[in-house]
Amino acid sequence: MSAKRRINLVMPELGIEDQPMTISLWFVRRGQRVVEGEPLVEILCGPATVDLPAPADGILVKKMVVSGDPIKTNQVMGIIDVC
């Protein structure tokens, strides 16, 4: 029996570092299956919003930030059990 692999969901660099970034909306709940490439979380960056896709298929097992929280580049937002 193999161990599950976990990956961190990390806020990527968007090239707009001068704008404050905030978690606007999670599209999935903790414990819900995610599919690589599908929108996972919406980030508010000044007047724009950016949908960040799931980096892999799996289960979102933990959220480190919630809607309304400020976020910085390279900050861990959640953990996905890859399957």
The neighbour count for residue 34, using CB atoms within 10 Å, is: 24
- pTM of the model as a whole: 0.86
- The range of the structural domain enclosing residue 71 comes to 5-82
DSSP of the chain: -PPPEEEEEEPPP-S-TTS-EEEEEESS-TT-EE-TTSEEEEEEETTEEEEEEPSSSEEEEEESS-TT-EE-TT-EEEEEEE-
Least confident stretch, 6-10, 16-20, 51-55, 64-68: 16-20
Number of domains in the chain: 1
Is the pLDDT confidence value at 15 over 90? no
Between 2 and 33, residue with greater pLDDT: 33
Q: What is the CATH number of the domain that holds 55?
A: 2.40.50.100
Q: Report the pLDDT value the prediction gives residue 3, as an integer from 0 to 100.
A: 59
The neighbour count for residue 19, using CB atoms within 10 Å, is: 13
